[in-house]
Amino acid sequence: MGFLGYLVRKKNYVTLLATFVMAIFLMAALLAPFLFDWETATRVTLDTSLLSPSLAHPLGTDELGRDLLARVVWGARITLIVALVSVAIAMILGVLIGSLCGYYENWFTDAVMRFMDFMIAFPRTLLAIIVVTVLGSGVLSLTLAIGISTIPANVRLFRGPILALKRRQFTVAAKALGARDSSILFSHILPNTTSLIIIQGTLSLAEAILIGSGLSFLGLGPQPPIPEWGAMIAASRAHITSHPHVILAPGITLFAVILAFNLVGDALRDYADPRSRKAI
């Protein structure tokens, strides 16, 4: 594997570990229904509440007696679905609007860019909160809120390279040969931004998980008993002093997953273009 080999060669063991964490996260998300049934993750059994970690419950149980490992694993699935779909929305629309605004430079695309700049000035969390306010709380509106609030930044990010690429010789040549605008844009220009899309996608996943968990913590995301990490922490935080494990189990998992995506995204950037490495 090229990327893993690259990490070993660079002795970047931290990122190698991050790739491993990412793999476990993906496995947990995919295999959740086979590892624990939904009942185990959601059924309230008060006689087992707030148990410390043991063999029967490796991460202990929460205040409603539910096995924390089962909830954390199911939480991975919810987190992955929300993050993947929201990043897909943000990337598809961001790349599309960004490339159109880069390819066609006129008063309309200028106005669109002005609007995007205006939106970027507003904090992401606040934008996402506003979208949730309009759509109501739940898994779907959380996903849309994260996706929509990321679009302006993506538009600006992808417009730059398109502006540069459309002045390159191969684009001019394609135009001279009589290629249509759509074919120039989609088969000549956009393929050149693939690595940017992959890198940005990975980093966006980290940000989507961060913002999503924050909104869920505020109660604007999936509603109980759905085991979302941010919502789990919000529900259990009264017990932080007496039973810290109820906060630490989902909290450390959440932190580790976001960190892993950020580290892998950074390493992918160096891997794709060694020149872009931060100058020292």
How far is residue 37's CA from residue 169's CA, in Å, rounded to a whole number? 57
Contacts of 85 by beta carbon, 8 Å cutoff, 6+ apart:
143, 147
Select from 10, 168, 180, 237 the one that contacts another protein (CB under 8 A).
237
Tell me the closest approach of the beta carbon of residue 75 to another protein, in angstroms: 13
Integer-rounded Cα Rg, in Å, for the chain is 22
- Considering only residues 76-115, where is the footprint of another protein by CB under 8 A? none
State the Cα–Cα distance between residues 117 and 124, nearest whole angstrom: 13
Should residue 123 be labelled a site residue for another protein when binding is judged by CB under 8 A? yes
How big is the CA angle at 11 (ends 5 and 12), to the nearest 5 degrees? 85
238 contributes a contact to another protein by CB under 8 A: no
Q: How far is the CB of 217 from another protein (least distance, A)?
A: 5
Measured between alpha carbons, how far is residue 219 from residues 2, 112, 113, 229 in Å?
42, 33, 33, 12
Q: Which of residues 251-280 bind another protein (CB under 8 A)?
A: 251, 254-255, 258-259, 262-263, 266, 278, 280
Backbone angles phi, psi at 11, to 5 degrees: 55, 35
Choose, by CB under 8 A, the member of 101, 230, 245, 271 that binds another protein.
Answer: 230
DSSP single-letter state for residue 43: -
Span of 32-40, 100-108, 170-178, 232-240 interacting with another protein by CB under 8 A: 232-240
Contact positions vs another protein (CB under 8 A) = 118, 121-126, 129-130, 132-134, 136, 206-207, 210, 213-214, 217-220, 230, 233-234, 237, 240-241, 244, 247, 251, 254-255, 258-259, 262-263, 266, 278, 280
